[in-house]
Amino acid sequence: MKLTALAVAAALAPAALSASAQVAVRAELVHTVSGAVITDGVVIVSGGRIAAVGPAASTPIPAGHEVLEAAVVTPGLVDARTVAGLSGIYNGDDQTHDQDMLERSSPIQPGLRAIDAYNPREPLVEYVRSFGVTTIHVGHAPGELVSGQTMIAKTRGTTVAEAVVKPFFGLAATLSPAAKKGGATSPGTRGKMMAMLREALIAAREYASEHAAHDGEGAPPARDLGKEALAAALAREVPFIVTANRAQDIAGALRLAAEFDLRLWLDMGAEAYTLIDDLRAAGVPVLLHPTMYRAWGDTKNLSFTTAARLADAGIAIAIQTGFESYVPKVRVLLFEAAIAAAHGLGPARALEAITLSPARMLGIADRVGSLEVGKDGDLALFDGDPFEYTTHCIGVVIEGEVVSRQRR
């Protein structure tokens, strides 16, 4: 099948279409993820939502719809953990204007909101979108005991209001050498890291109790934004997302979660395969490190087979792009999933790990993650097998708007 509408427009800037644009994609293979693969299929988007998915022979395209053609169409990809939009695409000391992913002034700062630092116009957001990523779970980078709040956004729009899906989703914490301080500055050891986290959570619990006990007489207790955020985690309103790679740090996170009844999510998890039974028993999902992440420091024992081993054990996983301090700052989600697919996860589960699985974890599977009637019209178009190195992403649609026509 030849690439028609997209091939003609490949060199043009994305059209300024409204969210109610009428778009139909015809593809040799339609990967619905939630159901069977459809050969010679059609996906119809009307009013920003998927109106129909089915074989081309029995799914007529309504008049007035722009028709795009591709070899393969999948749901828009969902990145389970990134800093794109807080971190910019550049690097170096002279680029501090786009390096808002980590505040180093204090080890515990849960009051920092991703929504206040996110830049939807950042070229790095456009970069990840050009590879088919339409939804991101974005927040402050690992590196402080509590580095801030995360949010969920679509990779579109010129304002945060246009992009945001959930303004406060979780709290990002770190239990790894990355959170240690040098000299006599705390925390300098793992024991101090755990003690400081416990103290902060106890203080937040007491703060929440004081506010709950206020009877309306007199002035209420003074507000504390950081304690409010921690209190939300203590109330299990948001997950406590802990970056940990070494088995001892993952075990520490599990102890902390058990003590305070936190909804623990494991971020990165290079040695998660050594604690499979513990993670499964605790019901902890894993936002797994990029498969090709550099194996050094506390990630030196990572494995290409971890995704498959966790999935085989029934642990919920999603593959992320994460953060690295050199350009282009995030990895290509498709490439990371492809390597996991080649090392035991397989193509179907690898695609699910970057679509429906993260959507379920993030509580947005009613909107994204699979091609089903009623869901957001978020699509990624390819000129071949998405996990084949020579394949290109040739188009991206978000809620019916063609946001990318690049051949990436």
**Residue 48 is part of a domain; what is its CATH number?**
2.30.40.10
pLDDT score, position 292: 95
Residues of the chain with pLDDT under 70: 1-20, 91-97, 327
* Count of domains for the chain: 2
- What is the percentage of the chain residues whose pLDDT exceeds 70? 93
Is 107 found in the same domain as 57?
A: no
- What is the per-residue pLDDT for 13? 34
Cα 277 from chain centre: 25
162: domain CATH number is 3.20.20.140
Domain that holds residue 39: 5-76+370-404
pLDDT for 20 equals 53
Burial call 121-132: b when 16+ CB within 10 Å, e when fewer: ebebbbbbbbbb
Q: Based on the domain organization, do 353 and 394 belong to the same domain?
A: no
Q: Which residues contact 13 (CB under 8 A, 6 or more apart)?
A: none
Q: Give the pLDDT of residue 324.
A: 81
Q: Are residues 146 and 67 in the same domain?
A: no
User: What pLDDT, on a 0 to 100 scale, did the predictor assign at position 18?
Assistant: 45
- Dihedral of the alpha carbons of 134, 138, 143, 147, in degrees to the nearest 10: 180
187 and 114 in a common domain: yes
Shared-domain flag, residues 72 and 88? no
The predicted-structure confidence for 162-194, as pLDDT tens digits, reads as follows: 999 999 999 999 999 999 998 889 999 999 999
Q: Give me the pLDDT at residue 3, please.
A: 41
Same domain, 351 and 395: no
Beta bridge partners of 27: 41, 70
